[in-house]
Structure formats: structure tokens, C-alpha cells
Amino acid sequence: MTQPSTDPSVEEFGRAADAWFAENVPDDPGFMLPLTFMEVGEDRQFDFLRDWQRKIYEAGFLGAAWPAEYGGGGLTEAHQKAATKAMRRHRMPILLNAIGLNWAGPLILDIGTEEQKAAYLKGILSAEDIWCQGFSEPDHGSDLGNAQLKATREGDEFVLNGSKIWTTQGNYAKYMILLARSNPDAENKYAGLSFFLSPMKIDGVRTQKIKKLTGEFGFTQTFFEDARISADCLIGGEGNGWKVAMRTLEYERGARGGQAGGYVSISPDLMEIVELAKTAERDGASAMEDPVLKDRMVDYLMDMHALSLGNERKKMMPLVEDYPMALPLMSKLEFSKLYRELSEFALTLLGPKAAYYVGEPNAADGGWWARSYLNAFSATIGGGTSQIQRNIIGEHVLGLPKTR
Amino acid sequence: MTQPSTDPSVEEFGRAADAWFAENVPDDPGFMLPLTFMEVGEDRQFDFLRDWQRKIYEAGFLGAAWPAEYGGGGLTEAHQKAATKAMRRHRMPILLNAIGLNWAGPLILDIGTEEQKAAYLKGILSAEDIWCQGFSEPDHGSDLGNAQLKATREGDEFVLNGSKIWTTQGNYAKYMILLARSNPDAENKYAGLSFFLSPMKIDGVRTQKIKKLTGEFGFTQTFFEDARISADCLIGGEGNGWKVAMRTLEYERGARGGQAGGYVSISPDLMEIVELAKTAERDGASAMEDPVLKDRMVDYLMDMHALSLGNERKKMMPLVEDYPMALPLMSKLEFSKLYRELSEFALTLLGPKAAYYVGEPNAADGGWWARSYLNAFSATIGGGTSQIQRNIIGEHVLGLPKTR
Amino acid sequence: MNDIASSLGQLGLSEEQADILNSAAQVCRDRSPIDRVRALIDDEAGFDPDVWAEIGQLGWLGIAIPEDFGGAGLGIGEAVPVAEHMGRHLMAVPFIPCTVAAQILLKAGTDAQKEALLPKVAAGDLSLTTALGEDGDDMTALGENERGGFMISGKATLVEHGAQVDRILIAFDTRDGRRLALIERENLPGGALRRERIIDDTRRAYELTLSGFEVGGDELLDVDRTKEALAHGEMVGAVLYAADMVGGAFRVIDYTADYLRTRKQFGKLIGSFQALKHPLVDAFILHERARSHLYAAAHSFGDQGRGEVAVRMAKAQAEKAYSYAADRGIQFHGGFGFTYDCDAGLHRRRAIWNATRYGDARSHKAKLAEMLF
Amino acid sequence: MNDIASSLGQLGLSEEQADILNSAAQVCRDRSPIDRVRALIDDEAGFDPDVWAEIGQLGWLGIAIPEDFGGAGLGIGEAVPVAEHMGRHLMAVPFIPCTVAAQILLKAGTDAQKEALLPKVAAGDLSLTTALGEDGDDMTALGENERGGFMISGKATLVEHGAQVDRILIAFDTRDGRRLALIERENLPGGALRRERIIDDTRRAYELTLSGFEVGGDELLDVDRTKEALAHGEMVGAVLYAADMVGGAFRVIDYTADYLRTRKQFGKLIGSFQALKHPLVDAFILHERARSHLYAAAHSFGDQGRGEVAVRMAKAQAEKAYSYAADRGIQFHGGFGFTYDCDAGLHRRRAIWNATRYGDARSHKAKLAEMLF
């Protein structure tokens, strides 16, 4: 990749990124791009986003803080932040390789072996190697600790049998971060788990697309039938799968650093909804002229703003002393709830036009809002349902007794 | 009491009642009257309401359907309903002796002995004998089946030890319907319970007033220390206390007939709130001119009306076939919730004037609304909290698994 | 104060309603099992002609048509149980548009039209739909023609089942105001109807585009009764869609309760978690409220003023109940809820569609605020 | 679009704020344990003079008074942590009215007044309150007097701690518009102040009735700055009451969580029931939102426009959080919650009072809708 001979200052780097994205953010390709990495349902979407990520990487604005010897920019987190800021400013399409950039990459950087770092990191940044995540299983949705997929040791290999579900980009992925049961007889269910960097394109691994609520694709179920992987795929050591998985979730939640940068999802922006309210016709008048809808806009604006203020406040120790973990633990619940409510509210603004769906010429914004509302459930259900999130906050923040 | 020589028709009786209440409903006594029988906090309130009930009884419009030989009117339920209608039409003050009229009375009529009927029923109607209810205990709020008050048999007597809480009019009552544990060693907790018609004004029974959220009184805690009562006080037979208690609650819920008639509580009427909204000033304009508040009025009107429609619908078999018990089981939850929400909404309508409380000349309606809101919690908490009500509906109507 | 109380819908149930409730329950259950519903999603027409024919033979399309015109001579209130049970089983035959069109024809049709057409509709031999136009549509008369009618051009969107019915009741603007005409689908030029992609996969809607299309004078409805007839049609559509939503809410609650009774997580039946149990109870309570409003609207439908209040309340409350129940239904099915295989999703999409037809909760509540306070 | 984003409050924290946060936390905890709070409910004054004196010595009353006038020269943002922690401990000294009055004096007082009085206020030697009048009040000037002032008559209600402070800042109408004057309580005729029965038992408010009361010219504030000063006072009162509510919400959630951690029913700790746990989490989330808005308002207070938006959001959000938390607090304490001994009740009553002062959520949101959209 094109790397400056002497490290640029953060400001210089930011300006360079700003200029580059101003120049290079692609035009509307003529088909609807995914809002999140979980919605890559068509090959044309996949190819488009894969090229886009590679382009950014080659320009040096992705993985800027990752070590140069593994293909990173060798700069600081501050540099990457400046570049990410530019991405947002220019509302670029999302980055494709989310699991690689935000889950697997940081994990490998953090606790991977030299070999693993050398083998995987560059391919993650360039989007050459797509990664997926193998945590949930069909019969134990939110109950990670209860993962049943068998990883039976045979010499230098593990034999995988079982099934994972909600595998994002499972049909495209080359590797999966896999939580599996390597020891069914461990003293407790957690101790029996191991964590693997597991190849997808091998015998015995089969994926099946899942049709979503939206009518589109984006996930697969992944079946393992006597799939054999090398013991070198282990990360964090045999029997430490639970700890590694928990750590991985902390990267996802942003509770730990190390992510490559950029963003992998676009959520409805209240300002777009303000626009919608101005343009949408209800009973012959702009929705904005209805004081009741206007009042709800104020509520949503306050809630959205509280969320972003919370992201600032969580860094200010004196303002979070009472319950330091509260804001980080809340953000997923809060964000996903607001996202769903806002998209649903947008349908109210649309009035009769809410009858249309994606692909209909008469639809407002091409049916974007209905799709966004239905997609929002992936956030309130996936990665621990809102009900589970409330348990976590109640138990870990307010110290209330466990529900189970 | 003045009884017509030949039974009047329901219409005649209704007209007579209408005329009588038009004539006799008392004027504002100059102090705030209780909204419900649970709020009789001052002697002047008690005396006023006791006289009022006696007066109605003597006029023949209370207990009209109870047998004449026990002091009733010897007429039909339809007659009493007509009289009750007149009471509502003329918005009379509440009846005082609620536990007697709606709980103890129907129970005694239903399963009491000849002696018990002769001894208790007339005094209930005339309000000469005030009754209270002894179900809840300090440490087992909603958990009736777990009542611990000891009733130890000694020959023809039971010795009572323990304490009851939320005894309405406990400081005035002559009798208590009492659920007590007569056999600590029964095979299950329910089988150990017996039900008594127990005197209050005897040695070993002491009441202590409870100051409510509202700052007023109306309940007592009742302490029993070696209080001795005759075994004749048993009703429904020793060890059948649970069955009798459940049956008693059915009278309260109106799931069984037999009540003496009239009403024992007045809840905020939406029409009063409409009035309030028209008169209340917010930011210099009538609250009614605020479209957002107006929209909430529409919501409340719809909810209140749904509640009264539900009371009609529950009698129409073809419209309740799917879940016959749904509407009856819902009504307490629905009513108490609406009552609380409406009173709270009234405070919003009041704006700055919501700062005042009962007894303040500058308060709107003498502080009625704030008091009504605080009192509303007795309905969402007492007689099984709203949380428990939801369990009951979920389990008994929707057949969901038990939470415990 | 009292005028408000007296303007509210009252409850009542006719014997005929009770009978229709029974037969509708049984027929819809038998003819619309969920596997049929899903099979029809991929069918162009979206419904089974045999079932539609049977519905005609059952007389459901003539319930609110007077006996003089071969109907049962009952009211719209008696059509409500049919729509409710179609909603319970995600059934999507053109029952609602056909009933709305017939009611408008009854109000504003000429004697000749009524005598010629209503008996056929009542007998199930002639199916109708409406193309009354949405905000932004522009169906307009360019001028009169020698057949005593008009030459019209323009667009009408969201024509329910437009490609599957015999006649389409269109509304269009003329120099002298809005007119109605009942045109034959066969006479439409090819490509006049384009299927629209709608949120509800169980239903079908079409965009009707005409250019220089000739409407005969005998196809025109009575100009003087257009306004009143359209207002009536609005109310008919609103109450029947309210019924569909009440039925749908019932089913999705039932469907979700079933999952909560059987699905285990963390070693417990998930229905034992109050985080799922209580919101489902709340959804159920909303359904019960909505159903009370619905049958009050059915009973009071004919009453001046009160009928309109009751219908608007029923539509608003039904939307609230169905949307919430289906939304929670998706959520409480967890991962499965996010797949297309979970019926809660079909309900949620149908709830959105139903909400948009004949006024959503927000617009009905706005109207109610004007009418009541 | 962007003008909205740029009009929202931003977060920041000064060192001074952090320090004051610390000392306020400690002092309020130590000086206002719940048994003291309950003892003071039956006290006529409603607060402990020694504690009030100590607050003066701590310099809390001079936080936002410029150094030239003996204050700390900080902003209202630095007074927010004090009000927040008073709210956490149901403390009810005249901190808010005294700060509001001092701020109005600072904006509209004459140099003589500011030099003479503000240093005393900052030092805690002179306490103030406001009698700016509520809807329906009628404090009016009958005419000018030879002392260059006015003779005034009329009523001003809800004068906070009116009977316990040294001076009262009154507003009254004159022929030439509204005027402000700072009068000495000692000079009031007997019976001029009547204690009002208010919803909040921890606070005190009085009705001030004057008839033919003489206000000296030297007591009048600058007529030209009245309007601006009153607007400023509104914002000061709003943000400080928002802070009190955020603090109260924190405490009542904490208090209720404590009960849920220890109380058993049906043999289980009730906190394990999601029906109680989840709503308490929701209350906590509302508190966290409100606290974020509060400190954004504190930080942005001085900024044109943005400050007003931030304060109104903070007050509206704080009311939502405190009302809900205290309401659920009562409910989740079951029978005990319905007794006067349960602190949740004290909080709920205080939440109602706080909401009514300087605009409730409804009126702030109505203003926000105008300002933003």
C-alpha cells in the first residue's frame, strides 16, 4: 500500500483522508446497497463493497493503526479515527468485511500467534479474505455458553460436527471465528469450549442461505459434517473458548480497542427523518404540520441526542463514577430500540405510501424505510435480545438478583 | 324499614329511587369526602357516610334483593340494579360498609349458617356493624396462600396470634373476615387455612393506623395477641379457608352476584377531565388548545370506552368464546391502570397548579387530582399487584407457563 | 360533556352476526391453512378462485346488499365477522374491495346499474374493486364523448386485486367535480394494470394507467350522490380493515403464545419469563379493547355521527393492537422471528398494509379530536 | 438539517465542575440523611439553618457570581452538580430560588445594588428568593411614590421559602410594563406571607399578598434589562430543577433496587422477577439519558440558542425520568410503597413539584418543536 515515508500528523492524515473520500466515494450503483454488513444479499452488492473496501485499504485509510509488518499503516488510533471521521462526513458505503475488521482482526492482533498474524491480518484489511462468525446455534439462540457444535480432537486435528446459524456472509466467507465444544465432559459448560480460526472452504462444511423477514438474504446456516481442521486453528488455547468469546464480544461492543476503523452499518439518521417529515404528505398536508407527529420528532431527537451525548459522557470519569459500566452496557439496547422505533415512525410519516415495498417505483425512497424497520429486528434480536440486554443491565449494573 | 305492601315493578322501584336520591343526596359537607371506602381517614367522614348509608337502607334502596327475613328488601337483583343506577345518576357519596356489603354479606348469605345470617346481615345493611377484611399480612403481601396468622383450636375456641395489614376501616370495624392458619401441619399450605367471622372489639385485638402515601389514613395494621374467639365464628368449615377466601374474592370481582348494591368508590370520570382540560390554563391558553394533549385525551377516551364496552361484551357469549375468562380477569388490571394514568394526566393538564395539594385554597378542585393520583396506587398494588394480574392473565388465559 | 358520551359507539350483537361469526370461523379456518397462505404468496393472483367462488355461493358478498337486489339485506355489521376471520387466517380474497365497491354502487348507482349488477355481485357472479385514487393520483376526464360519457386519462394507484376482478369502480375529476364510473376490466388496453410491489405479500395491488380511455354514459354513477357514496365507502373500508386487523392480532398473539409455551432457553420454557409473558398479555389486552371497539362499530355503523366515531375508534385501536402484537411476535420468536418462515413477519407486513387503507390511526385520531373535543 | 444538529447542546466538564461534584456529593450525603429529611418535614422552616449557613460558607451561593462581586466567577454549569446532589438527598434549602434571584439581580440590578448585595449573597450572609408571579397572580403598581418607587398591591403565589429568606425579588405590572424590585422581608406587614399546602412535603412555598405596600426607588431594578433578566432567570431555574430531578431519579432508583435486592415474595427475591427488574432498568436508562442532557445543558448554558435548547431538553427529560422512576418506585414497593414511610412517595411528590417549576416537560417540548422544526 502507498505509505508516506515519514509519518504524517493526525491533522495532515485527516485532511488527506477528507480529500480522498471527497474524490472517491462512489456514486449510486443503481441498485440498493446494504445498510449493514448483515444485509449483503446479492453478488453485485458483495462485489461492489469488496472492491470499495480494497480501494480504501490501498489508499491507506483502513487499518492505519495496525502494525505495518502485518499490512497495517503503522500509525496511531488517532490517525485511523481521523480517517473514519472523513468516511462519515462523506457518507461512504459501509465496509464489507465486518467480522474480520472488528472481531477476528483485533482478536488475532491481541492474542494470536506470530503465524496467525502473518497469515490473516492483511487479507482482512484488503477484503481478500472474508470472515464470518460462528457463535449462535439453532437450538440455543442467546445461550452462547451452551454451544454444542462438537470439535473432537484427533491428533493434530479437530473434527467438527454440528451446525451454526446467523452466519453473516457465510456463503462468501473464507474463514469463521468458531466457538465449539472441544470437551463435552468438562466440569462446567464453559470450560468445555474452544475458539478456532476455522476455514470455510473445506470438505464437510456446507452453507445454506436464510431468507430474512425482509424477503432478502444475508445470513446462512452453516453445517459441519466431519469437517477436519488443523489444531493450529486454535486461538487462546484449548478449553479457553468462553474467555476468548467474551473478549471478542468486547471488541464488538467497542469496550476494547483494536478495530481496523471505518463503519460497517448505516442507521437511519434523524435528519433524514426530518426531511421525510417535511416532504411526506399526510391527509393533504406535510406531516411536519401535524403537531402530534412534531412532538414525537422532538422525543426522538432528544433520545438520539442523549445516545450520542452518552458516548461522550462515558469517557468522562467524574460523570460515570456511580455506575461506570452503565453507558457501555446500555448502548446496544438503546441504539437498537431507537433504530426500530425510528424506522417504524417513518412509516407513520409516510401515511398511505407506507403500503409500498422495496422495488416499487411509487414507493418513497425506494421502500427504504419499510426495509429498514424490518431489518431493525436483527439488532434487537441478534447478539443478545433486548430482553437479555435488560437482564444484563439489571444484574451487572443495578446488582439485581439473577432471573434464571 | 319502609317496605311496600305489594312488590313494585322494577320500573316503579327505579322511578321511586330516582325521586328519592334527587331529593336526598346530601350537599357538600364542607370537607373532602373519601373517593373510596379505603380512604375514610377522619371521624367526620366516617360519621357522615355511616349516616348516609343508614338513610339509604331505611329508604329501602340498599339490599333490596336480600331476603326480607334478614333485613333485606325481599325484591330482585333487577330492583337493586335500578336503585344503584339512580345512585350513580345522582352521583351520591359512596357507601361506607364496603366489606360488609360486597364481601362478608354475600358470603354469609351464600354459605353462612342460619344463626350467622340472623346475626350479621341487617347490621351490614344499616351500617350499624362495620366490617373489615383480614387477608394480607405484613411479610406476605400478595401471597395469600401463605397467610401465617395462627388460629389455634382450644376446645370451642380459637386463639389468634399474629398480624394483618391493610385492614380497611380497621379502627372502626366491629367484625373482620379473617383468613388464618388453623393447622400448621396440613399436607399443603392451602389446606391449613380456615376462614372466620371474627369480632374486633375483644381483648387481644389491637389496631394501629397506617399513614398513606397521600398523607391521610384509612387502613390499619391489626395485631392479635392471644385473642380468643368462639368456634362458631368459623364459616365454610375448618380447613376450608382457602376455598372460602377464593370465593370471597369472586364476589369482590363481581364474578358472583349477591352484593347488596350501590357503589363504594368513585373513580375519575373522563368527562370531568374533559372539563378540566377546558378550564385548566397552560402557558396562557386552555389545555384543550394543545393538540398533543388533545390527542392523549382521545387515547384515554378510547381506552375508557373500551373498558365499558368490555363490560357489555363479556356477557355476549359469541363474542367471548375464544377466551371466556379474559374480560373478567382483565378488568382489575385495566381499570386500576387507567385510573392511575388518568389522574396523572390530569396533573399535566393543571400545569403549574399541580404544585398544590389538598387543603390549599389556590389548588384546582381542592387538590383532588393529586390525591386521586396518589390514591390510585392502592388499586394497582392492593388485591394483587398489576404485575401479578399480568401473570394470572398470561397463565390462566393464554396458558403460558408459570413464572414461579 | 354528555354529548361526548352519547356520541360513542354502543355494543350489540344480532343473531345473524352470531351465525355468520360461526360459519366464517369455520370456513376461513378450513380454506386458509397457513401452508395455503404461503403457497399463494408465490401465486400471481394471490388467492384461490375456487375459494373465492365458494365465498360467493355462501352469500358473503351479498350480506349488506338489500333483498330487492338479491342480497341478504343485512348491514355492514354483519360483514364484520367475515373480515375478522379472514384476518385471523391471513386470507386475501377481494372481499373488502368488492364489498366497498358494491356499497358505493348501492348509494350512487343508477337504478339500471343496481338492478343489473348488484344481484350478480350478491350471487358471487360478478367481482368488483375500487380505484378511487390516492394522494398524487391524477385520473381526469379530458372531455365528454358521444356515448354520453367521458374520455379519461391518468393514474390510479393501489387498486386492490385490480387484475383479478370483473369490474373496477373508478373515480376521476371532471370540470364539474368528481365522478364515479364502473368500468369493465376486459375493456382495458393491455398494460393498463401494472402490479405494484406492496409491503403485504398476501395481497395484490395494481397501478391503473389510462390514456384517452372511453367511459360510456351508462357506466357513470349518479353525480349527485358521489360525495355521500364516497364517504360511505370510506367508512365501510375502514371498519372491514379494522376487522381484518383485529383478527390478525388474535392470530399472531395465539401463534406467539404457542411458541412461548413450547420453546426452551436456558433450560426453561421462555413463556415463563415475564419479559415475554407480560408484553404478550399487553398485546392481548390491546386486542380485547380493539375487538370491543370493532363490534361497537359494527353495531353502531348505521347511526348518524355515532357510527363514524365508532368506526374511527375501531380502526385506530385495531391498528395499535395488530402492529404491537405482530412487532412483539417477531421479537419474541428470536432468531426464527427474523426469518421469512416465521408467520409473525407476514402479520407485521399485513398490519402495515391494513393500517394504510382508509386512513391510519393517526388520521382517524386527528379526526376524532376534531369531532369530540 | 444541519442547523438542527448544530443547535443541540454539547457535552463538556470543567475541573471546577468535577471538584464541586465531589464536595457536593459528600456534603449533601452527610448533611441530609433520610431521617433528617423526614424530621424536617414537620419543621415549619423545612430546613436546618446551620446547614444553610454551612452552604453559604462553602461558597455554593456564589458559584455563578463574578469575582468582582465576591463570587467564584464560574457559570451556572458549576451550580448544577450542587442541585443534582441536593436532589439525590431530598435536600430542600433555598439554594435554587436564591441562585435564580441572584442571577436576575446580576443581569438587571443597579451597580449600587450589585455592589451592596451580591458579595453578601456570595458569602452566604444574605438569602434571596423570587416572587415573579404565576398565571393568575396580579401584583400591580397602583402608582408611584415620593421615594421614587411604587405603591403596589396584589398577590404572588408559590414564593419558595418566602418566610425564611432575607429579601424577596418581586415582579409587578406598571403602566409602562413589568418591573422588578428586591424588597426586605422584614418590612412586610404581618400576615403578608401565608404558607401554601404544596405537593412536595420537603419544600416550603408561600403566598405573598401586599396592599398598598411601598417600594423604594433604590429597591427597583433596571427597567431596561427586566425582560432579558427574567428570561435568564427562567433558564437558570429550569436547569437547576432539572438537576434536582436527575439527582432524585438516581436516588429513587437506587432505593428501589435496594428493596428488590432484599425483599422476598413467593420464596424468591423480587428483583429476580423481570416484571420489576426490566422497568427499573428502563427507569435507569431514562436517568442516564437525562443526566447526559443535564450536563450538556450545564456545559452549553452560556451559548446563544444552543443553551436554551439544551436546558429545555434537560428539564423535559429529567421530568420524564424522575416521574417514571418514582412512580415505579412506589409500585414496586408493594404495600409498603403505599405508606407514607416509603421514600419513593416523597420522591414522587417532589418530582411533581419540580416539574411544575419553570415549565413542565409539555411546555418545554412545545417550545422545542417551535425552535427546532
- Look up the ipTM and state it: 0.93
Name the neighbours of C, counting chains with at least 3 Cβ pairs within 8 A: A, B, D
Q: Do D273 and C274 touch (CB under 8 A)?
A: yes
pLDDT score of C175 more than 90: yes
User: Cβ contacts (< 8 Å) between A387 and chain D: which residues?
Assistant: 274, 278
pLDDT, averaged across chain B = 92
Is D88 in the A-facing interface, judged by CB distances under 8 Å? Answer: no
Question: What is the residue-wise DSSP string for B68-122?
Answer: GGGTS----HHHHHHHHHHHHHTTPPPPS-HIIIIIIHHHHHHH--HHHHHHHHH
| Chain D residue with the nearest C-alpha to that of A317 | D18
Q: Which of D269, D296, D372 sits opposite A309 (nearest CB)?
A: D296
Chain B contact probe: residue of D38, D274, D330, D352 with most B CBs at under 10 A: D352
| Chain B residue with the nearest C-alpha to that of D365 | B292
| pLDDT of the residue at B1 | 46
| pLDDT of the residue at A255 | 64
Which positions 310-329 of D are in contact with B (Cβ < 8 Å)? Answer: 323, 327
C-beta pairs of A119-125 under 8 Å, 24+ apart in sequence:
A120/A175, A120/A197, A121/A63, A121/A66, A121/A70, A121/A71, A121/A72, A122/A70, A122/A71, A123/A174, A124/A63, A124/A97, A124/A100, A124/A260, A125/A57, A125/A62, A125/A63, A125/A66, A125/A71, A125/A72, A125/A101, A125/A260
| Chain C residue with the nearest C-alpha to that of B291 | C369
pLDDT score of D131 more than 70: yes
Encode pLDDT of B159-210 as tens digits.
999 999 999 999 999 999 999 999 999 999 999 999 999 999 999 999 999 9
Query: Per DSSP, what are the bridge partners of residue D159?
Result: D206
| Chain D residue with the nearest C-alpha to that of C279 | D275
| pLDDT of the residue at A349 | 95
| pLDDT of the residue at C1 | 38
Question: What is the residue-wise DSSP string for A48-69?
Answer: HHHHHHHHHHHHT-SSTTS-GG
More confident residue, B29 or D84: D84
Write the secondary structure of A316-384 as one string of H (helix), E (strand) and C (coil).
CHHHCCCCCCHHHHHHHHHHHHHHHHHHHHHHHHHHHHHHECCCCCCCHHHHHHHHHHHHHHHHHHCCC
Encode pLDDT of B87-127 as tens digits.
988 989 999 999 999 999 999 999 999 999 999 999 999 99
Q: Do D275 and C278 touch (CB under 8 A)?
A: yes
Chain B contact probe: residue of C278, C287, C365, C371 with most B CBs at under 10 A: C278
Name the minimum distance, in Å, from the CA of A251 to any CA of chain C: 22
Q: What is the mean pLDDT of residues D293-300?
A: 98
Q: How far apart are CA B5 and CA D221, in angstroms?
A: 82
| pLDDT of the residue at B142 | 60
pLDDT score of B140 more than 80: no
Ramachandran quadrant class, B215 (left: phi over 0; alpha: psi -120 to 50; beta: rest): left
Least confident of B46-55, B272-281, C191-200: B272-281
Q: What is the mean pLDDT of residues A218-239?
A: 96
Q: What is the mean pLDDT of residues A241-269?
A: 84
Q: What is the mean pLDDT of residues A306-334?
A: 93
Q: What is the mean pLDDT of residues B222-240?
A: 96
Chain B contact probe: residue of D265, D269, D346, D363 with most B CBs at under 10 A: D265
Q: How far apart are CA D82 and CA D239, in angstroms?
A: 12
Name the minimum distance, in Å, from the CA of C260 to any CA of chain A: 14
Encode pLDDT of C205-217 as tens digits.
999 999 999 999 9
Q: What is the mean pLDDT of residues B326-344?
A: 93
Beta strands in A171-264 (DSSP E): 175-181, 193-199, 205-210, 219-230
In which band, very low, low, confident or very high, does the pLDDT at B7 lie, cut at 50, 70 and 90?
confident
Which positions 273-332 of B are in contact with D (Cβ < 8 Å)? Answer: 281-284, 290, 292-293
Q: Which of C268, C295, C373 sits opposite B313 (nearest CB)?
A: C295
Number of H helices, E strands in chain A: 12, 9
| pLDDT of the residue at B109 | 95
pLDDT score of D2 more than 90: no
Name the minimum distance, in Å, from the CA of C274 to any CA of chain D: 5
Encode pLDDT of C215-260 as tens digits.
999 999 999 999 999 999 999 999 999 999 999 999 999 999 999 9
| pLDDT of the residue at D277 | 97
Amino acid at D242: A
Q: B333 with B327: CB under 8 angstroms?
A: no
Q: How far apart are CA B159 and CA B151, in angstroms?
A: 5
Take residue A238 and report the three cell numbers written for it.
Answer: 484449548
| pLDDT of the residue at A1 | 46
B124: closest CA among B111, B106, B105, B109?
Answer: B105
Q: How far apart are CA A357 and CA C195, in angstroms?
A: 12
In which band, very low, low, confident or very high, does the pLDDT at B28 lie, cut at 50, 70 and 90?
confident
User: Cβ contacts (< 8 Å) between A400 and chain D: which residues?
Assistant: 257, 260-261, 271-272, 277, 280
Q: C257 with C328: CB under 8 angstroms?
A: no
| Chain C residue with the nearest C-alpha to that of B278 | C373
Q: Do A212 and C327 touch (CB under 8 A)?
A: no
Encode pLDDT of A62-104 as tens digits.
999 999 999 999 999 999 999 999 998 898 999 999 999 999 9
Identify the helix (H) or strand (E) that includes residue D68.
Answer: none
Sign, CA torsion C166/C168/C169/C175: negative
| pLDDT of the residue at D345 | 98
More confident residue, D305 or B68: B68
Please return the burial class of B132, using the count of CB atoms within 10 Å of its CB with bins 0-12, 13-18 and 19+: buried
User: Cβ contacts (< 8 Å) between C342 and chain A: which residues?
Assistant: 213
Q: How far apart are CA B185 and CA B201, in angstroms?
A: 30
Name the minimum distance, in Å, from the CA of A131 to any CA of chain C: 21
Q: What is the mean pLDDT of residues B355-379?
A: 92
Is D241 in the A-facing interface, judged by CB distances under 8 Å? Answer: no
Q: What is the DSSP letter of A33?
A: P
User: Cβ contacts (< 8 Å) between D198 and chain B: which residues?
Assistant: 355-357, 360
Is C275 in the B-facing interface, judged by CB distances under 8 Å? Answer: no
Name the neighbours of B, counting chains with at least 3 Cβ pairs within 8 A: A, C, D
More confident residue, D325 or B144: D325
Name the neighbours of A, counting chains with at least 3 Cβ pairs within 8 A: B, C, D
Q: How far apart are CA A325 and CA A397, in angstroms?
A: 7
CA C336 to chain centroid: 29
Q: Do A330 and D369 touch (CB under 8 A)?
A: no
Chain C residues in contact with chain D using a Cβ-Cβ cutoff of 8 Å: 273-275, 278
pLDDT score of D91 more than 80: yes
Side-chain-facing half-sphere of B292: CA atoms under 13 Å: 22
User: Cβ contacts (< 8 Å) between B359 and chain D: which residues?
Assistant: 197
| pLDDT of the residue at D1 | 38
More confident residue, B214 or A36: B214
User: Cβ contacts (< 8 Å) between C278 and chain D: which residues?
Assistant: 274-275
User: Cβ contacts (< 8 Å) between C286 and chain B: which residues?
Assistant: none
Write the secondary structure of C210-278 as one string of H (helix), E (strand) and C (coil).
EEEEEECHHHECCHHHHHHHHHHHHHHHHHHHHHHHHHHHHHHHHHHHHHHHHCEECCEEHHHCHHHHH
Name the minimum distance, in Å, from the CA of A249 to any CA of chain C: 18
